[in-house]
Structure 1
């Protein structure tokens, strides 16, 4: 039994990853990572989540939920920044944990992240499709149910727009990260300008009385749901935190960063700061324009608020840019997910073909698999179901990474480089980051925990039946 446990906890040599990932071209700069991070974090959620959380859980205190969620996300982001600066490998948490904790723990974290990327790609594509159909409907253009909904949902056969956008992004990424980064930067600037326009227009329509009481008293609604008080703020934290996790998509591409010691921390922390400012601002403006209760069941609160405040043209323009801007999240998720799959193939944990690079040094086999699975998931599962699944797996990886700082520090300057950036207030902040991620995890919907448990069991079976036998690390030892 001891021998078997030693086999499962074998650690990868950092120099092996440095050699394997050296074939990936280092072309991404700080501006590219800022665009990737902001594009992934500030996706469709900024146009929907503040209204949903305000109406269903926190009232005007949705801004507090945004702020508290950002503190937890910031602690984890510090850990990610140090890890990616010290170990700029493809695969982010999976590769780091393989170095500091061992193979079985790396598999658990990587498998958890893989669920996020598979589902997130389908989720974002489905959300983009839903918003695009809604926008077309305002111009009197309707899409048949058979082509608008997943198989078996409201007469649907396939969500054709979701399929098309996933394929379009895959084609873009297959041509190279530099080209994708240019498109990403343009779309992110456009989207941020749209958000700032909403904030400026909304400021002219704010009514101070809508902020009172800022934290509504706790009550149990007729539906049986709990609303208001600090418990409502806490529920809002768990929901909004999931919008901030896009910085993992930055770390997954660390092997393609120029000067990663400086580029990675600036990209990760900088994109989170920008995202938090935008989220808090949108939340405050949204609940200030109208009483939070009007956003109940509203799938497009930003557009609704602008229209009912007398700005229908601005609403249409901003919603159009929002739909276009959702491509940024899809680009970021598909880049990161394909790099994670590449890492599994590189290490023999999944078929080695996934770890192959094409003649342009791109992991297009991994990208193709991610696209196919994303299309299948998006074609079978409805958008409302997918929303329940993107959560727990990422938080599990976050907890591993924060604890990993304690294993990383003693090795910095020895077999791992001594990075220019280090998580401040060591050893206290890594523990605070772990506890924060754990608290958010506890606050998740029980269904998210059940689904993550099922995915964990499947992953363990795959690892024991395939990963252990084909692992390059195990064969080398």
Structure 2
């Protein structure tokens, strides 16, 4: 038993990760991380979720749902910034928790994040497909239902061909390296932010104040048992849209490829979140002001629809075209981070070691595995099915990182370098970050929590059957005993 617990709770030496990740090229700057963060956070969600959540849960108060989610995300982002500055390793929360709490807890946090990346890539690809189809449909181009409707959940759909194609395109780009990818990302993010600003300014001219009344609709229970209106509806909205803010983890996952990570990581994480919050709340307020919130029910591309319905067909086409191209930025960010996480598992032997091998200093083997699984999810599962499942895994990792600050502080300046950024209002803020993430997790629907439990059980089976016994930390320890 003591041997079992020793393996589970053995903490990785940070110098080991520093050595293992030394082959990754440090080429990313603050500008690259801001683009990566904004590109990932301001993704499919900003063009889809404000309308969907307003119709299903919160009404015009969807803006308050975004604000509440942003406050929790902001607190956790402080913890991420300190962790990333102190330990700029590939794998973000997985590697950090492995160092401060031990291998087993690191695996749980990493396994939860892995679910996020698998599903998030599929979700973004599905949303991109929905907007692309909304763009080409008025031009007379309609894909056969069997090849186009998995992302929206309509009957008769077989697979989402567009989602498959875009995932493959992004994989091809990423296989050429982070620095080349960053140049594409930076350009696309600028275009996407311009498209969002155009929507905000043009959409604002079509706002009708009556659509904001009542701002917080009266509470009732939807047919599916979920909440609508009142604080209950706002809370349900927070749980559903929290996935919109998960992108800053994708910045942290690439910290092993950062130039001067002590400065670039906090600036990239916190800066991108501030920009994203402003854009999200602005889009939500404009969208629910243009039309009655109920008009956005079951609409996977509400931004383009609202512009077309308000007489701005040309603007809708331009904005939606840029938005579709811009959604590539979110796929780039998620797939970049997800492949680094899978690489980290292989690097440490918790998954087959060939996943931790580099090809031309790039984790392309891990990237291929991520691509195959994301295609299966994005092509064959409905858009609405994927939304809440992303949040579950992310929130579990956020809870670990918030608590991890308590274990990190006593080691800073000793075996872990003193970071240039520290989470403010310590020790209160880490606890608030943990409680906020727990509260949002509690608000997820039963299906999301059930699938999260199933994913957790699968992860436990893999860890105890394979990972624990093949861990490089365990094998190194065994080799030391044999020498003695």
Shift of 1:156: 4.6
Structure 1 residue aligned with 2:211: 210
Structure 2 residue aligned with 1:62: 62
Shift of 1:157: 4.6
* CA distance in 2 between partners of 1:140 and 1:299 (Å): 19
Structure 2 residue aligned with 1:35: 35
Structure 1 residue aligned with 2:434: 434
Q: Secondary structure at the match of 2:246?
A: coil
Question: Could you tell me whether the CA contact under 8 Å between 2:239 and 2:391 is conserved in 1?
Answer: no
Structure 2 residue aligned with 1:71: 71
* CA distance in 2 between partners of 1:42 and 1:5 (Å): 42
Structure 2 residue aligned with 1:449: 449
Q: Secondary structure at the match of 2:137?
A: helix
* CA distance in 1 between partners of 2:224 and 2:434 (Å): 34
Larger CA deviation: 166-175 vs 124-133 = 124-133
Question: Could you tell me whether the CA contact under 8 Å between 2:134 and 2:301 is conserved in 1?
Answer: no
Shift of 1:115: 1.1
* CA distance in 2 between partners of 1:417 and 1:292 (Å): 50
* CA distance in 2 between partners of 1:22 and 1:72 (Å): 33
Structure 2 residue aligned with 1:12: 12
Q: Compared with structure 1, are the counterparts of its residues 358 and 291 closer, same or farther at alpha carbon in structure 2 (3 Å cutoff)?
A: same
Structure 2 residue aligned with 1:389: 389
Shift of 1:155: 4.5
Larger CA deviation: 255-264 vs 378-387 = 378-387
Aligned pairs for 1:67-216 (under 5 A) are 67-149=67-149, 154-216=155-217
Aligned pairs for 1:406-417 (under 5 A) are 406-417=406-417
* CA distance in 1 between partners of 2:164 and 2:310 (Å): 35
* CA distance in 2 between partners of 1:189 and 1:36 (Å): 11
* CA distance in 2 between partners of 1:382 and 1:302 (Å): 20
Pair 1:336-2:324 in alignment = no
* CA distance in 2 between partners of 1:221 and 1:329 (Å): 32
Question: Could you tell me whether the CA contact under 8 Å between 2:21 and 2:89 is conserved in 1?
Answer: yes
Query: Which whole-Å deviations, capped at 9, do the CAs of 1:115-174 have from their partners, x for residues lacking one?
Result: 111121122222222222222211101212343255998445542222211111111011
Question: Could you tell me whether the CA contact under 8 Å between 2:258 and 2:264 is conserved in 1?
Answer: yes
Q: Secondary structure at the match of 1:387?
A: helix
Pair 1:307-2:308 in alignment = yes
Larger CA deviation: 290-299 vs 84-93 = 290-299
Q: Compared with structure 1, are the counterparts of its residues 447 and 225 closer, same or farther at alpha carbon in structure 2 (3 Å cutoff)?
A: closer
Query: Which whole-Å deviations, capped at 9, do the CAs of 1:244-280 have from their partners, x for residues lacking one?
Result: 0111011000000000001000000001000000011
* CA distance in 1 between partners of 2:154 and 2:231 (Å): 37
* CA distance in 1 between partners of 2:229 and 2:438 (Å): 22
Q: Secondary structure at the match of 2:389?
A: coil
Query: Which whole-Å deviations, capped at 9, do the CAs of 1:77-112 have from their partners, x for residues lacking one?
Result: 000000000000000000000000000000111111
Shift of 1:206: 2.0
Shift of 1:62: 1.1
Larger CA deviation: 208-217 vs 147-156 = 147-156
* CA distance in 2 between partners of 1:122 and 1:73 (Å): 22
Where structure 2 has 5 or more consecutive residues not aligned to the other structure, the ranges are 478-484
TM-score (ref. length: structure 2): 0.95
TM-score (ref. length: structure 1): 0.96
Query: Which whole-Å deviations, capped at 9, do the CAs of 1:304-333 have from their partners, x for residues lacking one?
Result: 222222211111111111111111111001
Instruction: Kindly report the root-mean-square deviation, in angstroms, between the aligned alpha carbons of the 2 structures.
Output: 1.7
Structure 2 residue aligned with 1:230: 231
Query: Which whole-Å deviations, capped at 9, do the CAs of 1:362-408 have from their partners, x for residues lacking one?
Result: 11111111112222223332333222421211111110000000000
Count, aligned residues? 476
* CA distance in 1 between partners of 2:380 and 2:213 (Å): 43
Q: Compared with structure 1, are the counterparts of its residues 105 and 43 closer, same or farther at alpha carbon in structure 2 (3 Å cutoff)?
A: same
Q: Compared with structure 1, are the counterparts of its residues 323 and 364 closer, same or farther at alpha carbon in structure 2 (3 Å cutoff)?
A: same
Q: Secondary structure at the match of 1:242?
A: helix
* CA distance in 2 between partners of 1:157 and 1:220 (Å): 32
Q: Compared with structure 1, are the counterparts of its residues 355 and 71 closer, same or farther at alpha carbon in structure 2 (3 Å cutoff)?
A: same
Where structure 1 has 5 or more consecutive residues not aligned to the other structure, the ranges are none
* CA distance in 2 between partners of 1:387 and 1:199 (Å): 24
